[in-house]
Amino acid sequence: MTRFKVSPNSAIKAYFDTVNHDLLMNFIKQRVTDPWLLHLIRRFLTSGVMNGELFRKTTKGIPQGGNLSPLLANIYLNELDKLLTQRGHQFVRYADDCNIYVRSKRAGERVLHNVTIFLEIKL
């Protein structure tokens, strides 16, 4: 049987700049109850970025390159993992790198479309 690999990586990578902090914190609060740790994570998310000489406060998105970034990405995209599992897809994902294995090019296009919609609407 021929298998095709779909990689929605560009959709996911672009998406990390728009991650909703409140939604991410709600996902984290489902497992973490320590208020100090929750406060530190929130501070990490809103710490801001330097663009040349300009400082910009961050109100959304996951900072790229930080030690916590891959962990936060995995927590946030766990909902996508659940969706793909429920639909019976075989996939491998770590942070923003994702491969979904399908049986045809058409199925791959459909899955890619559905993942993009899910990211835009649900997350």
Among the listed residues 21, 60, 57, the one whose alpha carbon sits nearest the alpha carbon of residue 42: 21
Q: What is the pTM of this model?
A: 0.80
60: DSSP letter: S
Count of domains forming the chain: 1
Phi and psi for 25 in degrees, rounded to 5?
-65, -35
**For residue 32, which amino acid is it?**
V
Q: Find the domain containing 114 and state its range.
A: 4-121
Q: What is the pLDDT of residues 38-78, one digit of tens each?
A: 999 999 999 887 778 888 888 898 887 778 888 998 999 99
Q: Do residues 104 and 4 make contact, with C-beta atoms less than 8 angstroms apart? A: yes
Task: Look at residue 49 and give its three-state secondary structure.
Answer: strand
Q: Cα(2)–Cα(68) distance, rounded to whole angstroms?
A: 38
